[in-house]
Amino acid sequence: MLAIFLKTLPFFGLIGLGYGAARTRFFSAEATAHLTKFVFYFALSAMLFQFSANLTLDEIFEPRLASAYLFGTALVYGVGMAVAFWRRMDAPTAAVEAQCAAIGNTGFLGVPMLALLLGQEAVGPIILVLVIDTVIFSSALTLIITAAREGTMSLRIFRVLAIGLLKNPMIVSIALGLLVSASGVGLHEVLNSFFVTLGAAATPGALFAIGASLASKSAERLEVAAWLSVAKLILHPLFVALGAYYLFPVDAYRASVVISAAALPVAGNVFILAQHYGVAPQRVSASILISTAASIVTVSAIIAAVSVSAP
């Protein structure tokens, strides 16, 4: 575990650097917002496009692997909602808490970190996790909250969801990359070099932005946030491991990638959604803060426990 911990330490060090810069007001909230926008729309999108353009659909989508991750994520999502209902929370709050328990920071932390730690062969499964999280579970949050508030499901909700996915640069980048790959033309060496160079800014930029955004997070409702952090950092990878090793067995390397992705801390976009809908944003804020801090140890431990060499 020590070897893995030492490899992950520089990534969390960059998060700490961003946190310190924002906490001391050397890096303003406005600067953090602009950096996040650059990473989201340019650097990370370039990285995902370049990755996808050099992969085939079969290298990304494997039905059994998708089933294993879907099973584990749906199970922890259900547990998160059940515990919230047991505490007499309403449906929107239960959905937000479930989102904290199930959606990890795959885009800003998982893609750059796991690709370097586990090798380029990990990119396909990581993209699969990112797509499932975004298309299925983030959409589920919108459906639950809107249906609870309006008392019905309408075509308008699905139209809003579709437009949201079409505006998501990560989904668009992956889709365009796969189209380039399927065309058989591939990326010209100059274009490939351009996207590799721009994408290289995603790792330090994303990690610094995560840290800077954490500086504005508050640690309220600590009991709930601690429970959601345990669900995200421990239960989620455990349930995905159950799916990947026993219910929908896949090769050990790909299983290790999706389990490692499931071990990532709560995603920042959960806070954005919670704030947008006005549902428990402080609870989400505390969950992101606690889970990210604790993941310095837990992510290293889980990667060390499951990691195997690429075939």
Q: Two tokens at 80? A: 């998160």
**pLDDT tens, 83-113?**
999 999 999 999 999 999 999 999 888 888 8
Can you give the residue ranges of every domain in the chain?
2-306
The predicted model scores a pTM of: 0.89
**pLDDT tens, 108-157?**
888 888 988 888 899 999 999 999 998 898 888 888 888 787 766 666 77
**pLDDT tens, 34-78?**
998 999 899 999 999 999 998 888 888 899 999 999 999 999 999
Q: Which CATH class is domain 2-306?
A: mainly alpha
Is residue 220 predicted with pLDDT exceeding 80? Answer: no
